[in-house]
Amino acid sequence: MRIPLSALLILAMAATGLSGCSPFWQRGPSAPTSAPVLLGITPASAAVGDTVTIRGSGFTSIGNGVKIGVGYLNGVGTADSTSLRFALPSALTPCPPSAQVCIALALLLTPGTYQVAVLNANGTSNELSLQVVAK
């Protein structure tokens, strides 16, 4: 018995829950996503364990990665999409948030000036400076 292709498509759509989807030509334009933009870091100088706040826009509710120098603090979330708050860690992962597997060792965060950026599904932000000081 031969089943027409159109019947198979309808069955496949029903099985996967896609029957309510409209074709791409009937959908409205999707909202553009813009890369994060950093406006400021407070405090400008912080020690390991201090709370740091990054202000800006384009942050996602989960899945933000904060790049500090060459290392990353991954999985930083936000409730308002305009600020990220985190405790400055003693070590960072060398793997970006997009890495599926990371087998590298941690990078120690030592005193110095670091360039900070935010990465998420929307892209990568501009960079701002953060001074890491000894406790």
Show the domains of the chain with their CATH numbers.
30-133 (2.60.40.10)
d(CA 81, CA 17): 31
Predicted local confidence at residue 8, as pLDDT: 40
Question: 91 pairs with which residues across the strands?
Answer: 108
Entry field: residues in the chain:
135
Strand extents, DSSP E, the chain? 37-42, 45-47, 51-57, 64-68, 71-76, 83-87, 91-92, 107-108, 112-120, 123-124, 128-133
pTM: 0.75
pLDDT values of the chain reduced to their tens digit, one per residue, 135 residues: 565 554 444 444 444 444 444 454 455 555 557 999 999 999 999 999 999 999 999 999 999 999 999 999 999 999 999 999 999 999 999 999 888 888 888 999 999 999 999 999 999 999 999 999 998
DSSP label of 118:
E
Q: What is the CA radius of gyration of the chain?
A: 21
Other beta carbons within 10 Å of 30: 6
Cis peptide before 23 (omega within 30 of 0): no
Predicted local confidence at residue 91, as pLDDT: 96
The two three-digit tokens of residue 134, written as one number? 């000894």
Beta strands 71-76 and 107-108: pairing type? Answer: unpaired
Predicted local confidence at residue 24, as pLDDT: 45
d(CA 60, CA 79): 9
The two three-digit tokens of residue 19, written as one number? 């029957």
Q: Judge whether 75 and 62 are in contact, CB under 8 Å.
A: yes
Predicted local confidence at residue 123, as pLDDT: 95
Predicted local confidence at residue 29, as pLDDT: 55
